[in-house]
A and B are shown apart, each in its own frame.
Chain A
Amino acid sequence: MTPAISLTGLSRRYGDQLAIDDVTLQIDGPSITGLIGRNGAGKTTLLRIIAAQEFATAGTVRVLGSSPVENEAILPNVALVREDQAFPQFRVRHALEAASLFYPHWSAELAEELVASFELPPNRWVERLSRGMRSALGAVIGLAARAEVTLFDEPYAGLDAVARRVFYDRLLADYAEHPRTVLVSTHLIDEVSALLERVVILDRGRIVLDAGADEARSAFTRVSGAVEAVEEFVAGRAVLERRRIASQESAVVAGGLHDGDRPWARELRLTLEPLSLQQVMVQASARAAQQSKEREQA
C-alpha cells in the first residue's frame, strides 16, 4: 500500500536556523496521529511542507505516493487547517462553498451539521468573526472536506472547552465512519491524548519520539517511595528527574519496565506511574537536549 505521508531526510533551513532537521516519518494508512512539541519545535513548518505550502531545503516529501508540490492530483486530497486561517472577503457560507468546490469528498451535510453544532452564523463576514468562531470555521472545513490527508495545526485557538469537546467528538465520529489520515498538532496534549493512535514528538526540528500512544505513555515511569528504595530501584537506569522531600523521593526513569520490575517495586513499597503525554513530551525534550549536549562535549 502507498503510505499516506512519507518524509525522508527532510530539512528546512531559514538562514542559519534549521526549523526541520533531518526528519524521516512514514504514516501508512488511516490513523489519528498527534504531532506534539513546544512552541517553535517545527510543527507548523512540517505540516506546511506536507501540504506544499512551504518547501523543503533537503529531503523528499511524498503524499499519497507523489510529491505534493503544485500537484493538482494530490492537493485536493490534502486539507490543512491552520490556527491563523486567512479567508478573503467572504461570508461564512461563501467560505464553505469555496471549500466544497475544492475538496472532492466534501460533505455538505456534515458541514451543515457542524455549522449548527458550533453555532456559526452563515451570513456573517468571516473578518467579523471572533477568533474562536474563525477557528470553528476552520474545523468545519477540515472535517467536512473528508480529505484523505487531513492536517490540523493547533485547530482550536480561541475555542472554549465546550466547542473543543464538539470538535473532538465530531472528529472521532466522522473518523469512525470515514477513516482517513489525520495529523493534529497540539499543545493541549492531555486533552487530546486519548484520541490519538500514534504520537510524534518534535523538539527543535527533530523527532525525539515516535511511538504508539500507549507505548509513548510507558516510555517514562515515575518511581516514588522511600529514598533508599527509589535509589536501589533506579540504579543503572537513565534517571531524568529527581525530587526529594524528607525521606521520600520521586524519580523519572526512561525506558520501559521489565517483567520483574513490578513485583520488585511492590517489595520495595514503591509506586510506579506512567507519565501523562504532556509530561512525556517535557521529558523527551529534556532528554534530547541532554543527549545533544553530550554529543557536543564528546
Chain B
Amino acid sequence: MLDDATPIFTQIADRLADEIADGGLAEGDRVPSTNELAAYYRINPATAAKGVNVLIDDGLLEKRRGIGMFVAAGARERLLEDRRRSFAERYVEPMVAEANRLGLDGDALIDLVREVGHAQGALER
C-alpha cells in the first residue's frame, strides 16, 4: 500500500489530501482517527499522527476536542487551488524538458496535448 521512496507520514498526508480533493472525504466529514489509520496502513500510530498533523497545520483538517478530526470548510477548494498553482512545476516542466530532449517543438507538443485530451474526452471546453 505504501512505497519506500517517500517518508510514510508524507504518504499518509498525501492520501488524505487526495481523498479530500476527489471529494471522497467531504467538508465536515469525520476523518479516520490516527489509531484507525495506523491499523489500516499497518504503521506506527505516531507516524499516522504526524501525517494527520501536516494537514491540520495546513488548515485542511480541524480537531474537535473529544470527538475527532474533520475536514475543514473550504478545504477542497484550497487544495485544488494549490494544485493548480503547482501544476506547471509538477507536470508541465518535466513534460517540456522531455519534449525538448526528443526534439519536439512547441506546436508539436501542443498538438499532442490536444490529441490526448480529445482521446480522453477531456479538455473539450
B9 proximity list for chain A (CB < 8 A): 214
A106 to chain B, nearest CB (A): 23
Cβ A273 vs Cβ B7 within 8 A: no
B44 proximity list for chain A (CB < 8 A): 32, 172, 194-197, 213
B39 proximity list for chain A (CB < 8 A): 169, 172-173, 176
Contact residue range for chain B? 10 to 19
Say yes or no for A206: interface residue by CB 8 A criterion: no
Complex Cα gap A197–B34 (Å): 14
A274 to chain B, nearest CB (A): 7
Given known contacts A172-B38, A176-B35, A214-B9, is B43 in contact with A195 (CB within 8 Å)?
Answer: yes
Complex Cα gap A197–B45 (Å): 8
Say yes or no for B123: interface residue by CB 8 A criterion: no
Q: Mark B26-54, 1 if CB is under 8 A from A, else 0.
A: 00000000010011011111110010000
B92 to chain A, nearest CB (A): 14
Picked from B7, B41, B42, B47, the residue with its CB within 8 Å of the CB of A197 is B47
Interface centre among A169, A196, A214, A273 (most CB of B within 10 A): A214
Say yes or no for B102: interface residue by CB 8 A criterion: no
Residue of A nearest to B44 (CB): A197
Cβ B42 vs Cβ A31 within 8 A: no
Residue of B nearest to A165 (CB): B42
Cβ A195 vs Cβ B46 within 8 A: no
Picked from A168, A173, A217, A276, the residue with its CB within 8 Å of the CB of B7 is A217
Secondary structure class of chain A's binding surface, majority of residues:
helix
A252 to chain B, nearest CB (A): 15
Complex Cα gap A176–B43 (Å): 11
Complex Cα gap A217–B2 (Å): 14
Say yes or no for B122: interface residue by CB 8 A criterion: no
A274 proximity list for chain B (CB < 8 A): 4-5, 7
Contact residue range for chain A? 20 to 34
Complex Cα gap A194–B2 (Å): 9
Cβ A197 vs Cβ B46 within 8 A: yes
Complex Cα gap A286–B114 (Å): 53
Cβ A213 vs Cβ B47 within 8 A: yes
Say yes or no for B96: interface residue by CB 8 A criterion: no
Q: Which residues of A, 262-298, contact B by the 8 Å Cβ criterion?
A: 266, 273-274, 276
B7 proximity list for chain A (CB < 8 A): 214, 217-218, 274
Interface centre among B4, B35, B39 (most CB of A within 10 A): B4
Complex Cα gap A237–B57 (Å): 34
Say yes or no for B21: interface residue by CB 8 A criterion: no
Q: Which residues of B, 1-21, contact A by the 8 Å Cβ criterion?
A: 2, 4-5, 7-9
Picked from B4, B5, B45, the residue with its CB within 8 Å of the CB of A172 is B45
Complex Cα gap A175–B39 (Å): 10
B35 proximity list for chain A (CB < 8 A): 176-177
Residue of B nearest to A271 (CB): B5
A222 to chain B, nearest CB (A): 10
Residue of A nearest to B8 (CB): A194
Picked from A168, A175, A218, A273, the residue with its CB within 8 Å of the CB of B42 is A168
B33 to chain A, nearest CB (A): 9
Complex Cα gap A196–B7 (Å): 13
A195 to chain B, nearest CB (A): 6
Picked from B8, B42, B50, B94, the residue with its CB within 8 Å of the CB of A169 is B42
Residues in chain A within 8 A of chain B (CB atoms): 31-32, 168-169, 172-173, 175-177, 194-197, 213-214, 217-218, 266, 273-274, 276
> What are 21 of the A-B contact pairs (CB < 8 Å)?
A172-B38, A175-B45, A176-B35, A176-B38, A176-B45, A177-B35, A194-B43, A194-B44, A195-B42, A195-B43, A197-B44, A197-B46, A197-B47, A213-B44, A213-B47, A214-B7, A217-B7, A273-B4, A274-B4, A274-B7, A276-B4
